[in-house]
Structure 1
Amino acid sequence: MAHHVRRSHFQRRTRHLYALVFDDERAVYIGQSVDPKQRASQHRASRGGWLRPHRMVVLEAIEGTYGDAEQREYVWRWVAHTAGWTVYVQPPNLIVNLGRRMPWWRRLEAWRTRLVVGWPI
């Protein structure tokens, strides 16, 4: 099956990385968006999949492509994991296996991010 990729994925633009925080479960979902307010309302909608109470925390804004932001998503997932949080990849409650997508250089970047920026939750 062919996977459709939008042209906007290749455009360099400001992309916001965010965490949906499920405090009761000590779990997070890490995502990206060019419009965090619109994305927050999509997550809250009945079709958004996250029907349980959550809050959105913007982690950082980067200038880059979709792929650049996706690389930072993996970094933030590892930061959340090392801070003791369960990391979801999609509703309902699918937990990510972080080791499969974390080569040594990405883990190094995650540790650098955790030490310099910290885990803001």
Structure 2
Amino acid sequence: MPHWKDHPPLPATWQRSDAGILPLWWDRLCSQTSQQSAALFAAGLFTEDRRRPIAQWYNAATDSALLVAPESSPEWPVQRFGIFYAPPGGGFTQVHSAPHEWHPREPRKSPTEREAFQAAVAEAERFLQVEMYFV
């Protein structure tokens, strides 16, 4: 596994904030869909701040954010971490990436939940590195 020193630092404007899902996500999703559709999106991820782990970055200067969080229903046999992006100026999108999956019924089989989460976080950080060139 690559060491953190092998990656360039994230842009200083992006601050990690994992305490709870930012209200920005709900607001952005509701602005694009109805509240009912937003409540069902990603198995209720944005209505119930109960699913962990998450990784989240916020850029106050541009009012944008990036989130890594479980996107599948807890009862599904395959779990997956999604990467969600709220760009500057409004909107909401899911970043299409490699599947960051694990099988909860086989917790010791690779990729584990931890490995899938770490891979999704690493991909999200690469996204932030690229994003800084376009904003």
**Structures share fold, TM-score greater than 0.5:** no
Please report the TM-score for the alignment, with normalisation by the length of structure 2. 0.30
Please report the TM-score for the alignment, with normalisation by the length of structure 1. 0.32
More strand by share: 1
More helix by share: 1
Higher Rg of the two aligned structures: 2
